[in-house]
Structure 1
Amino acid sequence: MADFTTRPTLTGTFGMVSSTHWIASQTAMGILEQGGNAFDAAVAGGFVLHLVEPHLNGPGGDLPAIIATADDPTPTVLCGQGPAPAGATVEHFRAQGMDRVPGSGPLATAVPGAVDAWLLLLRDHGSMPPAQVLAPACHYARHGHPLVARVGATVAAVQDLFESDWTTSADVWLSGGRPPRPGELFRNTAWADTLDRLVAAGEGAGNREAQVEAVRAAWSQGFVAEAVDAFARRAFRHSDGRVLPGVLTGQDLADYSATWEPALTREWQGHTIAKTGPWGQGPALLQVLGMLDALGDPPDPDTADGVHAVAEAWKLAMADREAWFGDSGDEPVPIDDLLDPDYLAQRASLIGADADRTVRPGSPGGRTPRMAAFAGLTEVAGGGPGVGEPTVTREQAQREDRGEPDVGPDGVTRGDTCHLDVVDRWGNMVSATPSGGWLQSSPVIPELGFPLGSRLQMMWLEQGLPSSLRPGRRPRTTLTPTLVLREGRPVLACGSPGGDQQDQWQSLFLLRHLAHGATLQEAIDAPAFHTTSFPGSFDPRITEPGVLVVEDRLPETVRSDLRSRGHDVLEQGPWSLGRMCAVARDPESGLLSAGANPRGMQGYAVGR
């Protein structure tokens, strides 16, 4: 690991914030300075992320978070992943001639969950009224904020679509007939008006909690739901070329509420790692940590042996994710069997000296795995599933406008997601990964100023799978925040955008920080890598047998060794993979710390 960092690990005692955009970080810190707690700060920062990273998340998107409070350190998951609408039936999609959910457009829309989830967090754990917490977002929407270069680049990539069909998006994003320029001041007055109306709905409603409930009602049962209902009936072009209306209704919004649920946990290196349930990919990280334990001492991810062990463990965990994770099955996901130490030891025994090029789901509790035929899988000798030819090649995927953020096999980030971590002086802590509702996912609703999301593309039309399309069931999301405890007290919140790669990069961070003693910033700055040798979550769902994507700062001797083991090593730029954020607290001394990702010149940590 490098003996230098791009910036210091911040330390202090008052509060710390780390996020993927400096304005969101400073907004959250400003709320702490006003006397708010970590949850007030996270909500304020989250609503600002909708504005400053509109190509990465939006009000029409999703939100998972994991929190722990100073009064109750038990890690708890906030699920803001909306389900499939009531009208999103397999029969409806088949009737349109579709064999999969498109990657963008109205039919790819799940019920928006992010706004309701942020508001639920504010109601149950915040200390400030909605008007105060939403004031920064109202300001930036009304008066403007400078756009990062990637926003304009994303708009340019879909400019033809906006001009020819998604004209409501063109009205917002192609002012003067061109995409926004880097650093240009951008205003979204329609969203500012929406925020003002939401805040007004809460004023005079009674105490703070009643005010939040009034805002939630205005969103899910009032003018927002009415505008969504009317707009969803309009036909727009989807990523497959079909021009069709969506099926989301105002009633879908009224029927939905974000929820609280217990976190899944695993003990590792003297710490408790907390993740979401199997409607997210979080349990895969717990599996990988268990497999690495079974292999012996924690691997060093800066060596060829360490990279190989981590990558091979991830191939096995992601195969299990494809076969077992989701919210659509009639039987509960066998999570106890998937995390059983004996099962993980058996999985770890499959890791050999050479890179494996197959997709090998396991049989937890003796069950037979099943994966979608469209994932490009075939039966191999011995009766187990393996990889056939990918249904879409890497070159085709790069040419297609998928309307979906992920990190491609070439290392180029096509859109992405956001992340936000906050810890306050009292010991409240939150890790949140908002995403969805990107400007390239669906047309802008003109009365509201934001588009809907495209999370349904992660569900299969093929039935009988844990991630099959079923109305009222949640898509299996890649969004995966992390909270870490030591002796029952929260000590670390972290996460990264990056689609399927989010937990892969987090595993490197945790290995370096918790197992090998690196500081937060050292662990964030160290060279990153990931494998794409499993079925991707996003349209067009490619699998790339044996591919290992690495930052070229990884020493040549290591890269050469990995090639000799059969890895198809794809070298990327020295600072190209991952956007890790992290905050920490030492419960003994009360000392707080934070680090943020330098990649992309956008993420920042602040605190004192």
Structure 2
Amino acid sequence: MKFINPNPFTTRPEITGTFGVVTSTHWIATAVGMSILEKGGNAFDAAVATALTLQVVEPHLCGPGGDVPIILHDVRRGRPEVICGQGPAPAGATIAHYRGQGLDMVPGTGLLAACVPGTFDAWMLLLRDYGTMRPADVLAPAIGYARDGHPIVERACATIATVREQFETHWQTSAAVFLPRGDVPKPGSLFRNPAVAETYGRIAREAESAGADRVAQIERARRTWSQGFVAEAIDRFCRTQDVMDVSGRPHKGVLTGDDMARWQASVEAPLTYQYGRYTVCKTGPWGQGPAMLQQLALLQGFDLDGMDPTSAAFIHLQVECAKLAYADREAFYGDPAFVEVPMATLLSDAYNAERRKLVSDSASLELRPGRIDGFGGVVTLRRADGQRAAAGAGEPTVGRLGQASGDTVHFDIIDRDGNMVTATPSGGWLQSSPVIPELGFPLGTRAQMFWLEEGLPGSLAPGKRPRTTLTPTLALRDGQPYLAWGSPGGDQQDQWITQFFLRHVHCGMNLQEAIDAPAWHSEHFPGSFWPRTARPGVMVVENRVPAATIDTLRQRGHVVEVGDDWSEGRLTAASREDPWRRAAANPRGMQGYAAGR
């Protein structure tokens, strides 16, 4: 039985071509990626230029001081790989240090939450080992938009407005950049950040000074970032500035130039799960990606073919399986270089057969992680009870009632040769930490994902990667690279990513239909961001979910909150089915676009 979509109309066409496709959360970045393909670059060259441009045009969603996981398939190597651009905690980031500051959580803003910025080195690693271009080639679009300006989007202006008082009172270096002429910029006005243009311009010049060899230029660029003027400015700022953060008190940072010099991005094999014809690839448990694989392992035991993806039965099954997977995320996930994570068991048929028995016709209101002897930790629940995070705290993710307020960026690219790349850059948001004036950008706040209790998989430790929520996805079909997709959205990412996949695989929807379809998310489990609260049983759905479905979900015990019609997720997706390249982008927020030919 095949589900027949009663409303096949989509907000835009599924892009189809044979030359290549780029899809991202901002139309300018998509255009930049396509321009690189047109110039003869491959998908990996285009990825670097796209990512650097996103830092400029969506500064409320990502920045040079942030982090990124990348999943790629290089036709020459013939296998999917992960690049970890998630920088670790600094050497001075100990539980004792933070407890000594009177803290029981890592603040969601300011310098104490800064890990080593991982994005730039990750992009240079991708360029060196998989790309064909030079640093100046891929830096040029970002430099141009930072120097000459770009039309600032409405959500960036709204974000600046929410933290205006913080900027004017405490973070004057941020006010100097994001409150030009002392006021919040108007949506669509030309916005510039000349300091970022100069930072990247100086790196490009330093790279070219290494001579004509492309690899030598890339290595010089990497050193300029991690051991040169960028690292020096970050070290000096963290040592000398007492920065007000969400705790209500100012703190100096612990990140140093030595921390930056000691770290480099790395390549590793993806974690995979076989779901019917599909081999789904995610990061390891230093990210939340395995939570999607665990959802699939649970859902594998249900017959979803032909189900209506807006029915109460479909939504209930996905949400209840998500609750179990995310409970295990809290109990077991952490940096596998520091803690042993029993992923083989968590993805095994036997374990999930037992976990699947917990899924009933009624909504669970408890957090129920599995039990695996010798592994995991006790999950601490902080009930929200209506509490809202202070302005600028945590990740600026989807708010109550699904009101989109931004968070992260995402893109997917496939070139004519079939190379594929998917990435979810984030962190270093304009509202996360004050701008370092010599550089034009702030640091990230990913360390807020650590716990300040000893003995947990996610406990803070120097050199340890925080369990990021960033989670791009790549899937093979019948052993061949087929699909790349993802979404911004913090803890919601692997919920929307899973929903998209189920609609595409079980309901026969094309990429654009699967993105446009009504969506939802659960807030049942502890959030990854300050103040780490949970809302047991709460499910937020778009108003386009049928009223009868909402009534049935409530009868089943779900606490359903109804958001706006188009308020859940910012998915993009691209597929390869030779000779075709296809792509689609989310209409929500009116920024994301796909392009191709």
Letter in 1 for 2:236: A
Q: How does 1:84-103 map to 2 (within 5 A)?
A: 84-103=89-108
Q: Deviation digits for residues 500-555 of structure 1, max 9, x if unmatched?
A: 00010011110111222111000000000111100110101111111011001011
CA distance in 1, matches of 2:410, 2:148: 24
Q: How does 1:56-75 map to 2 (within 5 A)?
A: 56-75=61-80
Shift of 1:170: 0.6
SS in 1 for 2:533: coil
Which residue of the other structure, out of 308, 311, 335, is the alignment partner of 2:343? 335
Shift of 1:399: 5.1
| 8 Å contact from structure 2 (residues 115, 445) kept in 1 | yes
| Aligned residue number for residue 316 of structure 1 | 324
SS in 1 for 2:122: helix
**Does the C-alpha gap of structure 1 residues 194 and 330 become closer, same or farther in structure 2, counting only changes over 3 Å?**
closer
| 8 Å contact from structure 1 (residues 372, 460) kept in 2 | no
| Aligned residue number for residue 303 of structure 1 | 311
CA distance in 1, matches of 2:406, 2:455: 31
- Is 1:520 matched with 2:511? yes
Q: Deviation digits for residues 415-464 of structure 1, max 9, x if unmatched?
A: 31000100000000000000000000000000000000000000000011
Q: How does 1:85-164 map to 2 (within 5 A)?
A: 85-164=90-169
| 8 Å contact from structure 1 (residues 371, 465) kept in 2 | yes
| Aligned residue number for residue 247 of structure 2 | 240
Letter in 2 for 1:212: I
- Is 1:597 matched with 2:586? yes
Shift of 1:268: 1.0
| Aligned residue number for residue 296 of structure 2 | 289
| 8 Å contact from structure 1 (residues 328, 467) kept in 2 | no
CA distance in 2, matches of 1:215, 1:70: 26
CA distance in 1, matches of 2:460, 2:375: 21
Q: Deviation digits for residues 148-197 of structure 1, max 9, x if unmatched?
A: 01111111101111011101001101111111110010111111111111
| 8 Å contact from structure 1 (residues 79, 258) kept in 2 | yes
SS in 2 for 1:413: coil
Q: Deviation digits for residues 19-49 of structure 1, max 9, x if unmatched?
A: 0000000000000000000000000000000
Which residue of the other structure, out of 515, 527, 538, is the alignment partner of 1:536? 527
Which residue of the other structure, out of 387, 403, 411, is the alignment partner of 1:420? 411
Letter in 2 for 1:289: L
CA distance in 2, matches of 1:193, 1:554: 48
CA distance in 1, matches of 2:142, 2:292: 33
CA distance in 1, matches of 2:72, 2:356: 31
The alignment of Structure 1 onto Structure 2 pairs a total of residues equal to 589
Shift of 1:410: 2.1
**Does the C-alpha gap of structure 1 residues 541 and 172 become closer, same or farther in structure 2, counting only changes over 3 Å?**
same
**Does the C-alpha gap of structure 1 residues 121 and 268 become closer, same or farther in structure 2, counting only changes over 3 Å?**
same
SS in 1 for 2:495: helix
Shift of 1:346: 1.1
Shift of 1:368: 5.8
Q: How does 1:42-441 map to 2 (within 5 A)?
A: 42-206=47-211, 207-233=213-239, 234-298=241-305, 300-327=308-335, 330-364=338-372, 366-367=373-374, 369-373=376-380, 375-376=381-382, 390=383, 392-394=384-386, 396-397=387-388, 400-441=391-432
CA distance in 1, matches of 2:78, 2:564: 40
Q: Unpaired segments of 5 or more residues in structure 2?
A: none
SS in 1 for 2:421: strand
SS in 2 for 1:216: helix
Which residue of the other structure, out of 3, 6, 9, is the alignment partner of 2:8? 3
CA distance in 2, matches of 1:529, 1:217: 44
Q: Deviation digits for residues 362-397 of structure 1, max 9, x if unmatched?
A: 023x44642343x33xxxxxxxxxxxxx1x433x21
| 8 Å contact from structure 1 (residues 422, 430) kept in 2 | yes
**Does the C-alpha gap of structure 1 residues 533 and 153 become closer, same or farther in structure 2, counting only changes over 3 Å?**
same
| 8 Å contact from structure 1 (residues 73, 488) kept in 2 | no
Task: Give me the TM-score of the superposition, normalised by structure 1.
Answer: 0.95
CA distance in 2, matches of 1:359, 1:448: 43
Shift of 1:398: 5.1
Shift of 1:488: 2.2
Which residue of the other structure, out of 37, 42, 51, is the alignment partner of 2:42? 37
CA distance in 1, matches of 2:311, 2:187: 38
**Does the C-alpha gap of structure 1 residues 161 and 120 become closer, same or farther in structure 2, counting only changes over 3 Å?**
same
Off by >6 Å, runs of 4+ in structure 1: none
Letter in 1 for 2:584: G
CA distance in 1, matches of 2:594, 2:152: 19
| 8 Å contact from structure 2 (residues 106, 451) kept in 1 | yes
Q: How does 1:540-551 map to 2 (within 5 A)?
A: 540-551=531-542
Instruction: Report the aligned-residue RMSD.
Output: 1.3
Shift of 1:301: 2.6
| 8 Å contact from structure 1 (residues 404, 440) kept in 2 | no
| Aligned residue number for residue 22 of structure 1 | 27
SS in 1 for 2:492: helix
Q: Deviation digits for residues 286-337 of structure 1, max 9, x if unmatched?
A: 0101101123345543211010000000000000000001117854111101
**Does the C-alpha gap of structure 1 residues 338 and 403 become closer, same or farther in structure 2, counting only changes over 3 Å?**
closer
Shift of 1:269: 2.8
| 8 Å contact from structure 1 (residues 279, 327) kept in 2 | yes
| Aligned residue number for residue 554 of structure 1 | 545
**Does the C-alpha gap of structure 1 residues 93 and 328 become closer, same or farther in structure 2, counting only changes over 3 Å?**
farther
**Does the C-alpha gap of structure 1 residues 512 and 104 become closer, same or farther in structure 2, counting only changes over 3 Å?**
same
| 8 Å contact from structure 1 (residues 328, 473) kept in 2 | no
SS in 2 for 1:445: coil
| Aligned residue number for residue 478 of structure 2 | 487
CA distance in 2, matches of 1:485, 1:214: 36
**Does the C-alpha gap of structure 1 residues 330 and 418 become closer, same or farther in structure 2, counting only changes over 3 Å?**
closer
Letter in 2 for 1:497: P
Shift of 1:590: 1.6
| Aligned residue number for residue 445 of structure 1 | 436
Q: Percent identity?
A: 56
